[in-house]
Amino acid sequence: MSKDKSSIFSPAVSFKNLFKKPETIKVPEENKKTAKRYRGFHINDLDKCIGCGTCSEICDNKAIEMVELENVKTELGQRNERPKIDYGRCCWCGLCVDICTTGSLQFTQDYTYINHDAESFSYIPDNKNINKVESEIGYERDQYSELLDLYRVEMQELNAESRVKSFMEIVKGFSKKQAEKEASRCVECDICTEACPASMNIPEYIRGIYDENLEESLQQIYEDNPLPEVCGRICTHNCESICSIGHRGEAVSIRWLKRYAVDNVDLAEYNKILGTEKIHQVDKKVAIIGAGPAGLSAAHYLKLMGYQITIFEAESKAGGMMRYGIPEYRLPYEKLDKDINYIKNLGVEFKFNTRIGENISLSDIKKDYDAVFAATGLHNGRSTRIPGTENNNVYQAIYLLKQITKGKKIPLTKKIVIIGGGNVAMDIARSLARLQKKKYGQVNVLVTSLETEDIMPADQEEIEEARAEGVDFEPGRGPKEIIVSENGSISQVCTNCCVSVFDEDMNFNPTFDDQDIQNYDCDMVVEAIGQAGDNSYIDDNYDIEYEGPRIKVNDKQQTSLSWLFAGGDIVRGPDVINGIKTGHNAAQGIDYFLKNNQKSS
Amino acid sequence: MRSENELIKLLNRDLNLLSFKKLRKQNISIRFENEELVSGLNYLKSQNYIHLATISCVDWIEDNQFELIYQLFSYEDKISLSVKTRINRKTSKFVTIKNLWGVAKYYERDIHDFFGIKFTGNDNMDELILENWNEIPPMRKDFKTRQYVDKKYDWRQYHGQE
Amino acid sequence: MDKSKMTEMFFGPNHPGVPGNYGINYFYEGDTVVSAEPNPGHLHRGFEKLMEEREWIKNTPLVCRICVMEPDINEMVYAMGFEAIGKIDIPKRATYIRSIILELARIQAHIFSIGGNCGAIGLYTAMQWGVLTRDYILDLFEEITGGRVYHIYIRPGGVRHDIEDVTLQKILDLLNDLENNRMPEFQKLIFENPIAQKRWKNTAILNQEDALSLGVTGPALRATGLVHDVRKLIPYAAYEQVDFKVPSGQDGDAWTRLKLKKDEIFQSINIIRQLINNIPDGPVSLNLGNALKYKIPNGEAYVKIESSRGEYGYYIVSDGGLKPYRVHVRGTSTPLGLYGVESLLPGCRIEDVPIWAHSLGICPPEFDR
């Protein structure tokens, strides 16, 4: 232990400071610059912000409140709310800036604000902070302080070489662990619900998957959608296009999560889980024409209200375009049957092979039933009517898809050209590719469409998958003529360049350049350019109002005849989820009509 | 210096343990019945577990029990030992260990303040941290802070900038 | 004890002689304390209950407010407890950065504490110097983390941002300045000051037996001769990769404890230099998924680290849900602030009570929570 040094002169070292410049900074004459990462007052880009409310969710002091702003409107992908920050509660921790889904909320380097009015400390930040001056950006989120899970769990799919050999379902589905990880990515902002045409309770059923409570998921799904096995595979997923995580990362795989939830609940448990073991019966009868998505949806909701339901279906099985239009590799028949069987087991009566206008008339139905819902769909293909389409080797895509579904043999040649750029063209192209691969060992299918690839109406995923399976594309071509050789077989399709598809008013008005001609060799042509319906069963007896080509209905799907309701593709397309929504609306409309026996509002 | 496995073997041999678990490196937890706890702590103190870090309490409301955890540490073995026991939530009574470690008086007084557990033998159970508290002990799971605040205080309404 | 001859003194919560808001009620006769009682609870904010009602990520801005002098230790132990129960391994660079931040926090806490101790005996110049020197370290924290006192920088999974090389160089420059310019001035003003020496030697003695039975750790225990430091007993972060000594003393009085604080500052400077020279490259945090849905399995953990005053521990219990089931904070000065007052203070002179409170490192926010 050394003796501690001490001297009476040692403290005199402090006298050195008499001659030094003081180290204090005299604010406000001098000012100390804050560091770049300082967490000062907030600013928010009101155009970039979508009002998702995640900042309000993560603030641990409840300092952020979402308030409605007048000059912002609710539209697809955003709400009319913006964050309002209360600086009496905020502690400047920065969690809101780290988790902001669009990156619009940021910090400046400013930190002084003086005001004798306490109300002024709570305000809505815009591009200027609370001092109403432009200020430098301070703390910024980077890849390490990220609080969101930006990337999707990869979905296992069959690869292109193996899948083109059969009609086996391409998507394999999530495992339990994958589904829970994907479900944890959701921030429950609820913007997707507003974009879904059927307003499904999306955050709630995703939460059910995360909590390992699939019964809750099933109940939430069936509130608005009685065909989840179908939509979980082929829905056009408007929800995913505007998911808030999709702004800076990849959207939550909402469709695959729905598929996981319903795939893993046994059909035998549905009645118990959904509370439909006993339904109170009402003594009124409703007829539904067409067992497609709109008809099945209306049948489901009307049956739950207690009405006696009969569905008249022209084909031998239910499903409409879901069965006869969508190929099996996208929607296996057994999964479609699971959804239909649940509706059938509720007590809905099906009359198959009964075509309205042929086997039975609309007035016959009106006599026996209290209300009628028409959802006959669009089952006739349109034709380009270019010279050569009258040849026997020119087919309609819808006709061929129906034959494939029924298991019947269809004409299949070695070189096929398909005219059309929508999802139906993709469906027939990929189905024919599989059949060609089986019969001839190789694929030779060419798809030509008016639209160039960037504006093709088909889903981008379908186009890419088709290409991988060997389908060729020639977009931006207009069909001019089908060249027939002397013995009656087709030899080529002649096309010119399609310069533009829409005119200035965004009407369909294609223009062509006849100087640019290209011919493609083929021996079979398939047209897939659009669908039309057949409403002659109504028009022969009754006078209803039309709006252009579609039947005119009010918001409860009621036509100008008070007892006749219409929904599905004949009223508004173009996909399954919109059909389901019109079916649900019609069920509510019919219920109101039958209870009040008058025109519903 | 003993390893974790040697310690567990020794404790299993000499004491009447209800359960034991190696949580991770240098961290073990063991559980006793109520009657065995004080003698168990006495034995452990003689085996060089002389450092009592703190006494914690957890409210397992669904099992209707409180759990008392005594955090011990040995400077020789360098192992943190969590010694646990469960008591009935309704009677909420236990014995004091102030004769082994005098500082336990204050840990027990703190637990009484927040959980309402009485320690027989510890004569000073006055309020330590709380003051003039009239509700149920606040760290219990059935005490809801939001309801208490709504009952006792008025919320100031203010609207912010227009 | 004949209370009629004694005077009751409320060495109350508002007093420059106590470090923080904390009261000691004692009876004294003549000049000597006869019996004493602690009066804690003035800084009770209800943290443990608040933490049970917030998700795991939302507790990170809350925990740093439990100890005002050295907020990083709270963030560190919370993150360590979360990672221990969830069996998460963080990247190596993150452990080095965490150690650098903790050592800088230790240096500034020691400097502030030395200044506070001088204020307790009347050497106000040193108190101002302590605040000033600490301010330069807070400037560095502002540049690294974005906040001066409450950093909210250490998170489960790593740290929040990377440190640039420019900033690392600034840390080294500041440490050189501390070691060569400022610490010698402290040494001359305080530690070679005969009045201060006489005032502190043989005052507020804590002997080894009392210290062990109370559960005292840190400089107060090391001043009695034992060399126990959590960084060597249960190594955490990057402490196994550096080489450092743990200073200790013999006498157990206030003078030894303050000298230990000064020696530890030099050791910390040494540790930070080694860490900066050997810091590896790589990411600084793991993405643990959506922060609003952090989940760890069922489990419990008692984790502890060495703060500037001793062992600081959290006992965390998780029931597999989105919120912690129970978080129990074990402050360093809990035994001294509560039982130590009752058993150790009697026999002390009343003018030595502030020295006793300051030099043992009693920090009331830790045990009031």
Give the CATH number, domain containing residue A48: 3.30.70.3270
Residue at A154 is within a domain? no
CA separation for the pair A396, A392 (Å, rounded): 11
Residue at A432 is within a domain? yes
Interface test with A, best of C66, C75, C192, C323 (most A CBs within 10 A): C192
CB contact under 8 A, B161 and A122: yes
CA separation for the pair A589, A597 (Å, rounded): 11
Q: Which domains does chain B have, with CATH numbers?
A: 4-152 (3.30.460.80)
List CB contacts (< 8 A) between B159 and chain A.
119, 122
Nearest Cα to Cα of residue A290 among A228, A337, A356 = A356
CB contact under 8 A, C290 and A147: yes
CA separation for the pair A504, B138 (Å, rounded): 70
Q: Is C24 left (phi over 0), alpha (psi -120 to 50) or beta?
A: beta
Share of chain A above pLDDT 90, in %: 17
List CB contacts (< 8 A) between B101 and chain C.
213, 215
Do residues A389 and A498 share a domain? Answer: yes
Q: Is A529 helix (H, G, I), strand (E, B) or coil?
A: coil
Distance from CA of B160 to the nearest CA of C (A): 24
CA separation for the pair C5, A19 (Å, rounded): 54
Nearest Cα to Cα of residue A64 among A30, A41, A87, A37 = A87
How buried is C228 (Cβ within 10 angstroms: 0-12 exposed, 13-18 middle, 19+ buried)?
buried
pTM of the model: 0.90
Element (H, E) at A303: helix A293-304
Task: Quote the pLDDT of residue A183.
Answer: 92
Q: Is C300 on the interface with B (CB under 8 A)?
A: yes
Q: In chain B, what is the straight-line distance between the N-terminal and C-terminal CA atoms, in Å? A: 69
Residue at A152 is within a domain? no
Nearest Cα to Cα of residue C261 among C246, C273, C274 = C246
CB contact under 8 A, C185 and A13: yes
Pick C192's closest partner by Cβ from A6, A14, A57: A6
Distance from CA of C214 to the nearest CA of B (A): 6
Do residues A494 and A458 share a domain? Answer: yes
Residue at A18 is within a domain? no
Element (H, E) at A366: helix A362-368
- Domain span including residue A183: 160-273
Question: Cα A85 from chain centroid?
Answer: 33
User: Which chain B residue shows the shortest CA-CA distance from C213?
Assistant: B101
pLDDT-derived band at A600, boundaries 50, 70, 90 = very low
CA separation for the pair A118, A300 (Å, rounded): 56
CA separation for the pair A173, A256 (Å, rounded): 7
Do residues A246 and A363 share a domain? Answer: no
Residue at A170 is within a domain? yes
Do residues A420 and A491 share a domain? Answer: yes
Task: Quote the pLDDT of residue A1.
Answer: 42
Q: Are A371 and A286 in contact (CB under 8 A)?
A: yes
User: Which chain C residue shows the shortest CA-CA distance from B45?
Assistant: C213
Question: Cα A475 from chain centroid?
Answer: 25
Do residues A442 and A478 share a domain? Answer: yes
Interface test with C, best of A18, A21, A146, A147 (most C CBs within 10 A): A147
Distance from CA of A50 to the nearest CA of B (A): 21
List CB contacts (< 8 A) between C301 and chain B.
23-24, 27
Mean pLDDT of A484-512: 80
Q: Are A4 and C191 in contact (CB under 8 A)?
A: yes
Q: Are C319 and C325 in contact (CB under 8 A)?
A: yes
Q: Is B146 on the interface with A (CB under 8 A)?
A: no
- Give the model confidence (pLDDT) of B5-14 as tens digits: 888 888 888 8
Q: What is the CATH number of the domain that holds A219?
A: 1.10.1060.10
B42 CB-near residues (< 8 Å, 6+ apart): B100
Q: Is C340 helix (H, G, I), strand (E, B) or coil?
A: helix
Interface test with B, best of C216, C315, C317, C319 (most B CBs within 10 A): C315
CA separation for the pair A229, A78 (Å, rounded): 28
Task: Quote the pLDDT of residue C98.
Answer: 93
pLDDT at B162 over 70: no
pLDDT-derived band at A206, boundaries 50, 70, 90 = very high
List all chains that touch chain A, counting a touch as 3 or more CB pairs closer than 8 Å.
B, C
Residue at A460 is within a domain? yes
- Give the model confidence (pLDDT) of A167-176 as tens digits: 888 888 889 9
Do residues A304 and A389 share a domain? Answer: no
List CB contacts (< 8 A) between A122 and chain B.
158-161
pLDDT at A598 over 60: no
Number of domains comprising chain A: 4
CA separation for the pair A203, A192 (Å, rounded): 8
Neighbours of B88 (CB within 10 A): 12
CA separation for the pair A185, A196 (Å, rounded): 19
CA separation for the pair B84, B29 (Å, rounded): 7
A601 CB-near residues (< 8 Å, 6+ apart): A556
Strand blocks (E) in chain C: 7-11, 23-29, 32-39, 154-155, 158-159, 299-306, 311-318, 326-330
For tokens 């502002």, name the residue. C142
Question: Cα C180 from chain centroid?
Answer: 25
CA separation for the pair B82, B28 (Å, rounded): 6
pLDDT-derived band at A540, boundaries 50, 70, 90 = low
Element (H, E) at C355: helix C353-359
Q: What is the CATH number of the domain that holds A506?
A: 3.50.50.60
Q: Are C8 and C334 in contact (CB under 8 A)?
A: no
Do residues A434 and A521 share a domain? Answer: yes
CB contact under 8 A, C194 and A6: yes
Do residues A353 and A401 share a domain? Answer: no
Residue at A225 is within a domain? yes
Interface test with B, best of C53, C209, C231, C339 (most B CBs within 10 A): C339
- Give the model confidence (pLDDT) of B63-117 as tens digits: 899 999 999 998 888 888 899 999 998 888 898 888 888 888 889 998 998 998 9
CA angle C180, C185, C191 (to 5 degrees): 120
Q: Is A512 on the interface with B (CB under 8 A)?
A: no
Mean pLDDT of B33-43: 86
Q: In chain C, what is the straight-line distance between the N-terminal and C-terminal CA atoms, in Å? A: 34
Q: Which domains does chain C have, with CATH numbers?
A: 88-292 (1.10.645.10)
User: Which chain B residue shows the shortest CA-CA distance from C339?
Assistant: B103
Do residues A117 and A170 share a domain? Answer: no
- Give the model confidence (pLDDT) of A433-467 as tens digits: 888 888 888 888 888 888 888 888 888 888 888 88
Mean pLDDT of A530-541: 77
Task: Quote the pLDDT of residue C110.
Answer: 92
Residue at A35 is within a domain? yes
B·C CB contacts under 8 A: 92
- Reading chain C (369 residues) residue by residue, the pLDDT tens digits are 677 788 888 888 888 778 888 888 889 888 888 888 888 888 898 899 999 999 999 999 999 999 888 899 999 999 999 999 999 999 999 999 999 999 999 999 999 999 988 888 888 888 888 898 999 999 999 999 888 899 999 999 999 999 999 999 999 999 999 889 888 888 888 888 888 888 888 888 888 888 888 888 889 899 998 898 989 988 988 899 899 999 988 888 889 998 899 899 999 999 999 999 999 999 999 988 888 998 889 999 999 999 998 899 999 999 988 999 999 999 888 888 888 888 888 888 888 888 888 888 888 888 888
Do residues A444 and A422 share a domain? Answer: yes
Do residues A320 and A367 share a domain? Answer: yes
Nearest Cα to Cα of residue A286 among A537, A587, A568 = A587
Do residues A177 and A109 share a domain? Answer: no
For tokens 């219409």, name the residue. A566
CB contact under 8 A, B145 and C335: no
**Dihedral (C-alpha) A88, A91, A97, A101: value to the nearest 10 degrees?**
-70
Task: Quote the pLDDT of residue A389.
Answer: 80
Pick A38's closest partner by Cβ from C61, C142, C292: C142
Q: Is C97 on the interface with A (CB under 8 A)?
A: no
List CB contacts (< 8 A) between C300 and chain B.
23, 29, 82
